[in-house]
């Protein structure tokens, strides 16, 4: 990606000269500058094949920041990388959109809201840097959720409960914050009035 500011996924600012494909290998949005890369309903309707990827990394050098914005892209066509990484100078913001990934690594900030649907094999938060994973109003599924000591927080808006093979935590109120933990088979909803997490 060679431009600053905000660009839509389907705009041809990609350094390869074409939209990403699975055969491209690693897709890196990691260059210097400040940009938001947006995936919207036009992307999912007209360019769904470009959303099936081997690997997608959002990060930036020091004094830079790159964001991936899933902006009301809908639920029928997910962003579907085998591996999705949000680095220390990267962020992901998702509103009413779907993501399916084998591995999701967060070492920056990721926020999911507005009735999105998220399915992951493994989620790792804060393994190599302070990180935040914020969930509000939607559906989340992961075979494994690792919240490392480096994580700033895992927050779930409103009421919340996480149940797993290694224990559970719950709290009613504006948010639930979980310390370092490994949770196996985490599935559930995180809607305003009822956030319930169950093991598989």
Give the pLDDT of residue 138.
80
Q: Is the pLDDT of residue 74 over 70?
A: yes
Tens-place pLDDT, residues 79-135: 999 999 999 999 999 999 999 999 999 999 999 988 889 999 988 888 888 888 888
Domain count of the chain? 1
Q: What residue numbers bound the domain in which 115 lies? A: 5-198
Which among 98, 83, 103, 99 has a CA at the least distance from the CA of 22? 83
Quote the mean pLDDT of the chain.
Answer: 79
pLDDT for the residue 136: 80
For residue 20, what pLDDT band results from cuts at 50, 70 and 90?
Answer: very high
Torsion from C-alpha of 19, 22, 28, 34, nearest 10 degrees: 40
Which carries the bigger pLDDT value, residue 50 or residue 138? 50
Average pLDDT over residues 22-34: 94
Cβ density class 67-88: b for 16+ within 10 Å, e for less: bbbbbebbeebbbbbebbbbbe
Pairing of strands 52-58, 26-29: parallel
For residue 48, what pLDDT band results from cuts at 50, 70 and 90? Answer: very high
Calculate mean pLDDT across residues 11-24.
93
User: Tens digits of per-residue pLDDT, 127-178?
Assistant: 888 888 888 878 888 888 887 766 655 665 543 334 333 434 443 334 444 4
- Compare 60 and 134 and report the one with higher pLDDT: 60
pLDDT of residue 43: 98
Q: What is the mean pLDDT of residues 20-39?
A: 95
User: Are the CB atoms for 161 and 139 separated by under 8 Å?
Assistant: no
């Amino acid at each position: 990606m060679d431009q600053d500011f905000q660009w839509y996924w389907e705009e041809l600012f990609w350094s390869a000269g074409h939209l990403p494909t699975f055969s491209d290998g690693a897709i890196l949005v990691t260059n210097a500058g400040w940009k938001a890369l947006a995936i919207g309903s036009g992307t999912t309707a007209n360019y769904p094949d470009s959303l099936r990827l081997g690997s997608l990394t959002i990060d930036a050098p020091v004094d830079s920041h790159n964001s991936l914005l899933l902006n009301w892209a809908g639920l029928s066509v997910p962003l579907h990388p085998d591996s999705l990484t949000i680095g220390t100078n990267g962020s992901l913001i998702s509103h009413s959109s779907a993501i399916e990934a084998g591995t999701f690594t967060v070492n920056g900030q990721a926020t999911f809201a507005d009735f999105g649907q998220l399915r992951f094999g493994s989620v790792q938060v804060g393994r190599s840097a302070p990180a935040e994973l914020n969930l509000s109003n939607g559906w989340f599924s992961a075979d494994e959720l690792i919240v490392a000591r480096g994580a700033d927080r895992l927050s779930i808006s409103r009421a919340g409960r996480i149940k797993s093979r290694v224990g559970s935590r719950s709290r009613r109120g504006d948010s639930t914050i979980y310390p370092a933990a490994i949770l196996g088979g985490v599935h559930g909803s995180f809607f305003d009035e009822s956030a319930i997490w169950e093991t598989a």
